[in-house]
Amino acid sequence: MDISDVRKRTGLSAATLHHYEELGLITTTGRVGLHRQYADDVVDVLAVIALCQRSGFSLHEIRELLAKRPGAEWKGLARAKIAEITQRINDLEQAREGITHALACTSPDIMRCHHFRATLDEVYP
Amino acid sequence: MDISDVRKRTGLSAATLHHYEELGLITTTGRVGLHRQYADDVVDVLAVIALCQRSGFSLHEIRELLAKRPGAEWKGLARAKIAEITQRINDLEQAREGITHALACTSPDIMRCHHFRATLDEVYP
DNA sequence: TTGCTCCTCACGTCACGTGAGGTGGC
DNA sequence: TTGCTCCTCACGTCACGTGAGGTGGC
């Protein structure tokens, strides 16, 4: 696969792919001229990277995870991340509720709305 | 309020508060010696900032939002963000499902698990 | 007087984006 | 031969964190 094929399949930029290669997350099978060539399964690796990034893993953490697979060690990291994800979903739902109310609110200034202020109090009690 | 009071109430670092001040998100009421002093309602502003950050607004966007309030203009931005938040919640739930399954999976290598690969296919179809 | 937290630069980090100038395949 | 995308630096961006060296209130 050429880099343009990978870009089309994933929507990732050349800079992103270069960056992942530099960090050792993906590899090339070689070059044709100066142009990088990739194995077909690079898309699977990129999908794992995307999935893990959404979960809040840093690229360095993802490198560790990929290296530890298929060992048992990464399961500890995974369990910790599930709790983090749940927390972040709760945060997002709280934020969405705050904005939704602010839109529906009839107060001239949201900062004077009791419902909105109640949401703020949850942020910094 | 002293900066240490603000730090205790919010858990934010001095560097963060300096950064917000530099961007014009918060202001001081003056100084005692070199030490910054804050009005009580700075905590409300910081709560709004935290809420908006969780929603995916950049600090520059938040500055615009705070400036436009209580005008009607910010409502357009808010509506767009609600859709984004919903998307990100879906992403997180997908990621959580992927990890949860990977933990429960009996396959020696997750990359060989059909259920996990089905999740990857959703990332880059 | 002794700590303590505060202060101001300045540079580092993370995950890339963005030109600047140049090479190679179709 | 003409474009086109690719290439390699190098520097920029965003939201801070982290010393380094110094000042001021309690």
Provide, in whole angstroms, the distance separating residue B23's CA from nucleotide C4's C1'. 29
List, for residues B21-69, the tens digit of each pLDDT value. 999 999 999 999 999 999 999 999 999 999 999 988 999 999 998 888 7
pLDDT for B80 equals 87
Kindly report the pTM of this predicted structure: 0.88
Nucleotide nearest to B12 (CA to C1'): D16
Q: Which residues pair with A32 in a beta bridge?
A: A35
Choose among B86, B98, B111: nearest Cβ to A51. Answer: B98
* C1'-nearest nucleotide to the CA of A7: D5
Q: Which residues of B touch A (CB under 8 A)?
A: 9-11, 43-44, 46-48, 50-52, 54-55, 69-70, 75, 78-79, 81-82, 85-86, 88-89, 91-96, 98-100, 102-103, 108-111, 117, 119-121, 123-124
**Is there a contact between B110 and A70 if contact means CB atoms under 8 Å apart?**
yes
- Which pLDDT belongs to residue B109? 83
pLDDT digits (tens, 9 = 90+) for A20-78: 999 999 999 999 999 999 999 999 999 999 999 998 899 999 999 888 877 777 888 88
- A55 Cβ neighbours under 8 A, 6+ residues apart: A81, A84, A85, B92, B95, B96, B99
Q: How confident is residue B90, by pLDDT bands cut at 50, 70 and 90?
A: very high
Task: Write down the pLDDT at residue A60.
Answer: 95
pLDDT at B110: 84
| Residues 6+ positions from B72 with CB-CB distance below 8 Å | none
Q: Which residue matches tokens 């792919």?
A: A17
Of B67 and A7, more confident: A7
- The predicted structure's pLDDT at residue B13: 95
- pLDDT at position A24: 94
pLDDT at B77: 84
Residues 6+ apart with CB under 8 A from B98: A51, B116, B119, B120
CB A92 within 8 Å of CB B116: no
Looking at residue A71, its pLDDT comes to 73
For residue range B105-120, what is the model confidence (pLDDT) as tens digits?
888 888 889 999 999 9
- Taking only the tens place, the pLDDT of each residue in A75-123 is 888 888 999 999 999 999 999 998 899 888 888 888 889 989 999 999 9
What does chain B come to in residues? 125
Contact at 8 Å (CB) between B96 and A85?
yes
